[in-house]
Amino acid sequence: MVDSLTLTRPDDWHLHLRDGVALRAVLPHTARQFARAIVMPNLQPPVTTTALALAYKRRIVEAAPDGARFEPLMTLYLTDRTAPDEIRRAREAGIVAVKLYPAGATTNSDAGVTDIRKTFAALEAMQREGLRLLVHGEVTDPAVDVFDREAVFIERVLDPLRRDFPALKVVFEHITTQDAAQYVAAAGANLAATITAHHLLYNRNALFKGGLRPHWYCLPVLKRETHRQALLRAATSGSPKFFLGTDSAPHAAHLKEQACGCAGCYTALAALELYAQAFDEAGALDRLEGFASFFGADFYGLPRNADRIVLKRETWTLPEALPFGEHVLAPLAGGETLSWRFAGEATS
């Protein structure tokens, strides 16, 4: 049995860092494990311009712990009014991607896209400038069952969009279904997908185990076991089209534990441990490094990291609560036992 894993330092290709005291509470967790992260722009108000993204980047860098060598990779929030000029400015400023939230699909998506055709000028500019399009892939049509929203999005939005913009590089974020895994695997090299640790570890039964479990509620929502199995196969397949994106999304515990609870699972505290658990259970620990450390950087055209980190097989218990400004943050699976533990930078 393997007791220790040494990996090229990984990156998180989908992360919510929030702002202010929340940012200061969560950033050390990500900066400890990852070299870089794609920072989601769904703040309030959203990060819709290059100027806002650069100001947010400065706040993140200032909030990083002393000595951290963490690099935030910034994104813009796509709206019906995003101008082609803004895309050019974004590329010149080193912004790497633009996030599509269908309006109303998830947390802070009210300013999102109401009709994909309204974004065509911006998408055209992104295709030209080489910015990636990151997609929250769910339709918002209330007539579509919540569990089918990702599959319907492929058919109604993603597939037509990829035909209209064949050279646009697209990341289908946090995929949750067999439909999405198959669609991405069959597509050309311009389409890739991120997969979260929680969608690899849990199916939708986790939401209802012994009662309603708000800390397992995220969007897209957990699906049935056949879908989890398909995601595991994709993540451990060795295909460079699938890579790590935690979608770690902190909300104060009381905002998840109320009548209308917020969507989002907080996994950054033990992100690599959770992924290692999923890959270990699938007998595929040898595939973790490609998924966590290589394929995302390759898709974004960025260098792979040079330093290495160590994970050790060690039993420990995830804390149930963490400080979060004047509130409390409840990590996903708090109180549960994990069998891998992040042990820091490799010394040799």
Q: Which residues are catalytic?
A: 247
Give the C-alpha separation, 285 to 265, whole Å.
Answer: 24
Dist. CA 102–CA 85, nearest whole Å: 22
Encoded tokens for 17: 């860092």
Q: Residue 16 CB, nearest distance to ligand DOR (Å)?
A: 5
> Minimum distance between the CB of residue 246 and Zn ion, rounded to whole angstroms?
9
The least distance separating Zn ion from the CB of residue 266, rounded to whole angstroms, comes to 12
> Which of ligand DOR, Zn ion, none is residue 331 near (CB under 5 to 8 Å by kind)?
none
Q: How far is the CB of 211 from ligand DOR (least distance, A)?
A: 20
DSSP for residue 262:
P
Would you say 219 or 311 has its CB closer to ligand DOR? 219
Residue closer to ligand DOR (CB basis): 35 or 219 = 219
Contact residues: ligand DOR, CB under 6 A: 16, 42, 106-107, 136, 218-219, 249, 263-264
* C-beta separation of 6 from 308 below 8 A: yes
Q: Choosing among ligand DOR, Zn ion, none, which partner's interface includes residue 263 (Cβ < 5 to 8 Å by kind)? A: ligand DOR
Pick 86 or 247: Cβ nearer Zn ion: 247
Name 14's Cβ contacts closer than 8 Å, sequence gap at least 6.
Answer: 38, 40, 134, 173, 174, 194, 196, 245, 246, 247
DSSP for residue 252: B
Out of 11, 71, 138, 247, the residue judged to bind Zn ion by CB under 5 A: 247
Extract the tokens encoding 46: 């959203």
**Cβ 288 vs Cβ 4: under 8 Å:** no
* Rounded CA separation 138/79 (Å): 16
- Between 9 and 16, whose beta carbon lies closer to ligand DOR? 16
Say which residue the tokens 């709206």 belong to: 79
Side-chain-side CA neighbours of 156 within 13 Å: the count stands at 15
Closest CB to ligand DOR among residues 249, 270: 249
Check residue 303 and report its DSSP letter. Answer: P
> In the complex, what is the shortest distance from the CB of residue 42 to ligand DOR, in angstroms, rounded to a whole number?
5
Q: Which region, judged by CB under 5 A, interacts with Zn ion, from 17-25, 187-195, 246-254, 303-311?
A: 246-254
Report the partner that residue 42 touches, choosing among ligand DOR, Zn ion, none (CB closer than 5 to 8 A by kind): ligand DOR
Name the one range near Zn ion by CB under 5 A: 216-224, 244-252, 281-289, 309-317: 244-252
Of Zn ion, ligand DOR, none, which one sits near residue 229, judging by CB under 5 to 8 A according to partner kind? none
Residue with smaller CB distance to Zn ion, 157 or 285: 157
> With binding defined as CB under 5 A, does residue 150 bind Zn ion?
no
Helix (H) or strand (E) holding 337: strand 337-345
**How many residues belong to the chain?**
348
Q: Which residue is nearest to Zn ion (CB)?
A: 247
Residues contacting Zn ion: total by CB under 5 A: 1
DSSP state of 113: B
Q: How far apart are CA 290 and CA 335, in angstroms?
A: 30
The side-by-side arrangement of strands in the sheet containing 337-345 is 4-8, 308-317, 337-345
**Residues at the interface with Zn ion (CB under 5 A):** 247
